[in-house]
Each structure stands twice: as C-alpha cells, then as structure tokens.
Amino acid sequence: MTDEGTRVEASYRKRVMRPLVWIRRDLRLTDNTALIRACEAATDGCVAVFAITPQQWQEHDEAPAKVEFWLENLRALHEALAAKNIPLKIVTTDEYDGLPNVLLDAARSVGADSLWMNREHEVNERRRDAAVTEAFEADDHEVHAFDDHTVLPPLDVRTKQGGPYSVFSPYKRAWIEVAKQSAIDPLGTPATQQEIDVTADAVPGSIKGFDFGTARLDLWPAGEDAAQGKLGAFIGQRIASYEDRRDLPGTNGTSTISPYLAAGVISPRQALHAALGANRNRFANGSKGADTWISELIWREFYQQVLRAFPRVSMHRAFRPDLDERVVWRDDPEGLEAWKEGMTGVPIVDGAMRQLKQTGWMHNRLRMVVAMFLSKNLLIDWREGERHFMRHLIDGDLGANNGGWQWSASVGTDAAPYFRIFNPISQSERFDPDGKFLHRFVPQLEGVTGKDLHDPRRLGDIDRRGRGYPEMIVDPKSSRQRAIDAFKEASN
C-alpha cells in the first residue's frame, strides 16, 4: 500500500487511470485527501464507493441516529459527486470480512484499476483495510492510503524517546510545534471529471437492524453547507465567549459541530483553519475562547493517537489495565437501568441522560458528570456507560468516547485521580444555576427553583412523589467515599 502524503507521484499521470475512491467517515467533497488526489491522478474518470456493513455496525454499537445521519450526508455527497461527474456506488455485506470481495467486484465492474482511501485508526478498521489491500494488490490493483482523519498523522507526534504520548499537556506542546512546521491548510475540491458510462446507485432509506426516525436530525441538517454554516456561526458569534460559556448546558455556548466531525462532513483541518483565523493565526496565547477551542481540537488528535498507539483501548480494555482489573465493580442492574433512563433522582444526571435519549447528543460537561456518577458514585463498570453512549450518540467517536469514559473512571490516559469525583449537585448549582437546562429536560421539577431544584431531597417526599420524580438512588457523599475506598484498595 502506497503512502502518498499530500502529493501525487508523477508516474500516476503516465497511465490511464480510473480510481475507485472508498468513502468512509469522510462524507465530504471538500478537503478530502483521498478523493482529491485520486481525481488529480485520474485520466479515465473516477468512481466513489460506500460500503454498508449492518451487522458490523451493530457489533460496534453504532447508534441508529448516527447511521441515519451518515445516510443523510451520503445523499448530500451523492449529489455533490454527481456535479463533478463522479458516480457513487453502494455495496453491502454484513461484516468487514466480506469487504475484500465486494469492493474488488465493484472495482472490476466499473473498470477501476486502483483503490484510494483515507486511513482509520481503530483495530478492526486497520485489519479490515489490510485485508482489502491484500486482495486488491493480489489482483494487480494499486492501493493508495492517506492520513486525513486528523490534522497530523497520529504517530507523527512523538516523545523525545520516540514513543507515543500518554499525557495530554506535553502532547499538546509537541503537537503545536509539529503543526507549525507542517502543511495543515485545507485542500480545495476535486476537479470535475470526464463523464463515464457508470450508473450511480441510490442511497438506501433504511438499514436492517437500525430504527430510524427517532433522531433529532433537524438539529444537524445534512451536507457540507450546513456543517460550514454551523462552524461559521460559532466562529463569528460564540468562539470569543467559548471559555466562559462552554460548561453551561442551558446556553448555546459550544460549536455543536461534533456530529459533522465524527462523520467527516467537515474536516479537522477546516475546523482548525477557522479557529486559527479567529485567533490571529496563533495556536495558543491568543484570545481565551479560541485558545480553549483549539485545545479541544488537539484533544481529539490526542485520543486518535491513543487509539493508534495503544490498540487495547479499542478492545474494551483500559489504558491502565492493572488498575481497572483490580477495581471491584458493582453488579447493579437496577442502578444501571435508572441511570440509562434518567431516573436516578439526581436532576443534572437525569436531565443529561434524557437529553441523550431525546436528541442523540449530550453537552460535554454533562458527559463528564454522568460518567463519574456511573463509574464512581454507582461504582458500575465504565464499559457499560461507554457502550450506552455509543449506542445513542449521533456524534459517537470511539477515540473521544473511550478516552472520556476512561478519564472519568480514572483508568485511562490523563485520568482524573480516583479521589477526584464530581459532586453532581454542586456541578448542577454551578453550571445550571437558573435551571434553564433542568427545566427543559426534567419537567417534573417545573416551578422548583434554587437549591431545591438541584437537590430534590429538600422538597420532602410528599412533594417529590406528587411530581412523579424518583427518590435519589444513591447518596453522593457516602457513595463518593465508597469509590475512594474501592480505588484505594485496587491501587495497593
């Protein structure tokens, strides 16, 4: 498999070429490295292909909301590709094992002589790509792969000893230095291709095993224009106040582009380029809001590096398996179900879990709050929460989701110390003081204000039961001490 970086070899142009571009989580026309480079090399048209693997997606806990979002954006990309004379083919096979054959059959059927793709970094995806590459090369088809899922290739940022980073702060400093010396500007759009006698396939409206129609897709309209509109609105109107408002779930203080980044409708280079433009081209030491958001983009890069360098985190294992395996996690099906349904009796936890269920998205501060509540206050295995999130999040991304859960559970890279456990009541009072968020997602507490809203134990049982709101399933204070004791014992 050839690694071209950002340049097309001159030898490509010496041959008649009809590339087949394998679209995955890069559902965009603009700044799509594999697509653009394939079109530059093509002398006999270009064809795109998207593979639907329903059973594999279910095994990977892909959320129905996310799969539906993929297909909506695939339809938008279908139209954009057609305008460039690039037909889109759709192939289907239950699992990744079937992809070498169905993709090779697709290449033969359209007369393609090469396969082009952008790399993905999870273990199963790397194995999938290796198997597809082997099949294509055995059939005398060239394969060209590019690093496009991150701003910098994940293993390009290394410690002085040549290894990967496991702590964010030094990684960030090193990442910025590498980025300053790298070509990180977004690419343009692919050139219009000559018309060829290949008929595009229709994008299906449903996928077996996935219940569509429940996601709030109106919150994230499909297509690159919509993604760029959200990014532009954030940069122009909210990035300056991002540091001050990003932790307030009752306000529109974040970028809300995470679903587009996860599906590749917008590229990380485009996001970074926009942020740098708002920050006097500085990665740090610019405006407080832009600095903080750029740091969040680098967190995304960090977690992708962790996926690539430490494959065990893709296989349901902690970055710190030594500690994780010694913690005695509680078997509490009723507590887990109450957490999933937003019926714990802790308003900020319940509001967050209901937001996830109703919209397919959750505010980032609340992701940390509910993750600590499950893994610390309830002392339930963090993998239960990680799986539940992936099954519901429209922006589910293994690197970020896994990294966040392991951070909260104190078993990952840069993990919060086990004795740092958010108090959900004080978090609620601090970040939703007026109850804007709680009144929206916990309607049983309508009209309740002040400390009573954040801690309904103060209402009294009669008032609380009359409102249909559950009793708190665990005391935050005593359960905090239980978690500290459990982790302390595991650390000895």
Instruction: Give me the active site residues, please.
Output: 296, 299, 329, 364, 382, 405
Percent of the chain as helix, strand, coil, to the nearest 5: 55, 5, 40
Cα of first residue to Cα of last residue in the chain, in angstroms, is 47
The runs of H, that is alpha helices, within 266-312 are 268-277, 288-309
DSSP characters for 391-445?
A: TT-TT--HHHHHHHHHHHHT-STTPPPTT----HHHHHHHHSTT-HHHHHH-GGG
Tell me the one-letter amino acid at 228. Q
Joined together, the tokens standing for residue 472 give: 């708190």
Q: Rounded CA gap, 479 and 239, in Å?
A: 37
On whether the CB atoms of residues 491 and 323 are closer than 8 A, the answer is yes
On whether the CB atoms of residues 46 and 86 are closer than 8 A, the answer is yes
Q: How many CA atoms lie within 13 A of 384 on its CB side?
A: 22
Give ∠ CA 415-419-420 in degrees, rounded to 5: 65
On whether the CB atoms of residues 395 and 261 are closer than 8 A, the answer is yes
